[in-house]
Amino acid sequence: MDRSARLASLRRIIETNKVASQDMLLKLLQDEGYIVTQATLSRDLKHLKVGKIPDGKGGYLYTYSDSANKGGSDKSLAEDFKRGYIGIDFSGNMAVVKTLPRHASTVAFAIDNLHIKEIVGTVAGDDTILILPKDGVKRQELIHSLKSRIPGFTENL
């Protein structure tokens, strides 16, 4: 099942490109290997609460508005996290999160946007994320901070 990976790509595409129509989005998705119909894309956009607004230069622009997604965001971020999460390990002071294939960027995005104060940032590959803890944060403190922000989080499944 590819839907959540597709949604993650879609979000990234919209956040990093100026796209004026669903047809154009369809092509960009295609470039990443996702072949769907316009109908499905329309549904995906609705799911992500992506809006279409005039760009002030005579055209239109699809936008992923954080504010539109703010309400209840922690909840859906935690869901994003759990959807892809497999397990966590440590290497030196860094945490290594394993995810389902292609889910790394979505999970990392969720971590970033939960704004956990013990975490400085993340780096995501395809199924692996590096979490960079703030200076002096111990492994157990990091685990605890994740537990406190992601209901049902456990160290390993």
Partner DNA sequence: CATAACATTGTAAAAATATACAGTATTATA
Partner DNA sequence: TATAATACTGTATATTTTTACAATGTTATG
Q: How far is the CB of 111 from its own copies (least distance, A)?
A: 20
The window from 1-9, 68-76, 86-94, 96-104 that contacts DNA (CB under 7 A) reads 1-9
Tokens of 143: 């685990």
Task: Say how far apart CA 108 and CA 155 lie, in whole Å.
Answer: 16
Tokens of 103: 């889910």
Angle of helix 22-31 relative to helix 38-48, nearest 10 degrees, comes to: 100
Residue for token pair 């998705």 = 29
Q: Using CB under 8 A, pick the residue from 35, 53, 120, 123 that binds its own copies.
A: 53
**Which residues face 132 on adjacent strands?**
121
Q: How far is the CB of 79 from its own copies (least distance, A)?
A: 12
Q: Quick check: 120 binds its own copies (CB under 8 A)?
A: no
Q: Using CB under 7 A, pick the residue from 17, 21, 65, 76 that binds DNA.
A: 21
Task: Say how far apart CA 132 and CA 118 lie, in whole Å.
Answer: 9
Q: How far is the CB of 97 from its own copies (least distance, A)?
A: 26
Q: Quick check: 59 binds DNA (CB under 7 A)?
A: yes
Q: Quick check: 46 binds its own copies (CB under 8 A)?
A: yes
The residue count for the chain: 157
Residues that bind its own copies (CB under 8 A): 45-54, 56, 60, 63, 65, 67-68, 71, 73, 76
